[in-house]
A = this chain, B = another copy of it.
Amino acid sequence: MKAALLLSGSGVYDGSEIHEAVLSLLALQEEGFTVQPCAPDIDQYHVINHTTGTEQTEKRNVFFESARIARGNIKKLEEIRVGDFNALVMPGGFGAAKNLTTWAFQGPEATIVPEVKSLILDFLKAKKPILAMCISPVVVALALKDSGISANLTVGTTEEKTPYDIPAIGQGMASLGAQVSMKRVNEFLFDEKNKIITTPCYMQDAQIMEIRNGILQAVRKLKQLVV
């Protein structure tokens, strides 16, 4: 079993959420997957100082920063072929909404990196499962825009503490044709028809143990769809 892990930088505010990415690597290996991290070779939208939230003047590249999480074992997105993999896994972090798409700035009017859109559609067409965490279901929703496919997706719940406007994000995804449900950090949503698993992770104000458990459960479900 082989999974492609789509990264979007390294750091929650301008790239991949690091805990989600590392705990994905761990859970996937625990459940028997070989993992190939990948990322697009594009500039980050911007660089955020993670202590203050302020924008820095420097430039960084999504592929090179993602390589930090992957310890150098990373491929450019353009090299990834759906035929070589059994599943696609997408951690969250603002990189999904700033680098892979422009959702953070434009909501459902956002653009999506063409290679990211193609990758997601290729997995769907091949009936190979996708696991999208945290905010990355918006990337799936954008990829499916005008595709005629309506996926069931979650980006979290208002029933648990969250720093984000979950209903607004859900409405944006619904405007693109998705069906949106609320799920807690210890739950995942399973779209059986499209083989898409989504789980909230740090969309909730959660602790790392909860992220670990949410990802492990979701990866176990992913494995059932592959085996």
Contacts and interface: CB of A to CB of B under 8 A. Distances in A.
Nearest to A76: B51
B29 A68 contact: no
Interface in A55-72: 58, 63-64, 67-72
Interface in A16-65: 17-19, 22-23, 25-26, 29-30, 49-51, 53, 58, 63-64
A207 interface: yes
A12 interface: yes
- Total copies of this chain within the assembly: 2
Given A18-B18, A18-B69, A69-B18, A51 B64 contact: yes
A207 B18 contact: no
Q: Which of A13, A23, A26, A50 has the most CB of B within 10 A?
A: A50
A209 B26 CA distance: 6
7 contacts: A13-B72, A18-B18, A25-B208, A29-B207, A49-B64, A51-B63, A71-B202
Given A12-B68, A26-B208, A51-B74, 19 more contacts: A10-B68, A13-B72, A15-B68, A17-B71, A18-B22, A18-B69, A19-B22, A22-B22, A23-B26, A26-B212, A29-B209, A30-B209, A50-B64, A50-B67, A50-B74, A51-B67, A53-B72, A58-B58, A71-B202
